Amino acid sequence: MAQNCSIKGRPLSKDDVICLLDLIDKHEVITSKKTDATNNRMKEEAWKSLAYEFSEIAGEIRRPEQLRLKWENLKKAARKRNAMIRQNKFKTRGGKMYIPPDEALDRVASMLDDTCVIVDVKTECTSRDDDTVEVESENDAIKTDCKNFTAKRIVFNTPNNSLNKRRRLSDLHKAQLSKELAMASYFQAKTEKIRLENLKLELEIQQLQNSAANSN
């Protein structure tokens, strides 16, 4: 009777996890959110290539399925940790807990690249005058320890926020540049008009002088 056996290697060390994240960064298609047939095939091939590279570096054979499962677990752990951090921000000093830094999970969170979303919400709390609450992502529930608080807007801070800010600044710079160019064109046209009027005036004076000389 044939026996089904599964190959289970040792748990990945911290260095192994960092190596895995480096390789996932290298194979960008893995973190793509596209799920069409073409991209799914590309992801399968990327995981095979990644597993081969990882095995060479680690000196231990790892199957694509093993590394892929590890990646999924890392994503779940990163989201759970971020949810804890967000909830911790809303707690009072006495109720806050210490969440130790985690280089790997912080990096995974940044690789997930969630989009920035602004939504209208209402909670019960009056302890803040500001009507804007900042959290990290739209995927998790918001919990507070206060009562009777009304928050009109929530801004989700994600890795894309800095990019969005740069884009907004770029748009402002473009608008300012367009305004300055328009002003420059206006003054240039006005200067040219004045030059032509002066030239016309000089010609009229010259004609009058010539007429006066001819009459004499």
Residues 6+ apart with CB under 8 A from 64: 44, 47, 48, 50, 51
138 or 185, which is more confident? Answer: 185
Task: Check whether 168 has a pLDDT greater than 50.
Answer: yes
Average pLDDT over residues 62-91: 91
CA distance linking residue 79 with residue 155, whole number of Å: 18
Query: What H or E segment, with its residue span, contains residue 185?
Result: helix 160-215
CA distance linking residue 206 with residue 119, whole number of Å: 73
Out of 32-36, 91-95, 150-154, which region has the weakest mean confidence (pLDDT)?
150-154
164, pLDDT greater than 50: yes
Q: Which of 33-37, 96-100, 166-170 has the highest mean pLDDT?
A: 33-37
This prediction has a pTM of 0.49
**What strands lie across the sheet with 153-156, from one edge to the other?**
118-119, 153-156, 132-135
DSSP 80: H
Tens digits of residue pLDDT in 117-134: 333 333 333 344 444 444
Higher pLDDT, 146 or 195: 195
What is the pLDDT averaged over residues 138-167? 46
Confidence of residue 95 (pLDDT cuts 50, 70, 90): confident
Question: Residue 212's pLDDT band (boundaries 50, 70, 90)?
Answer: confident
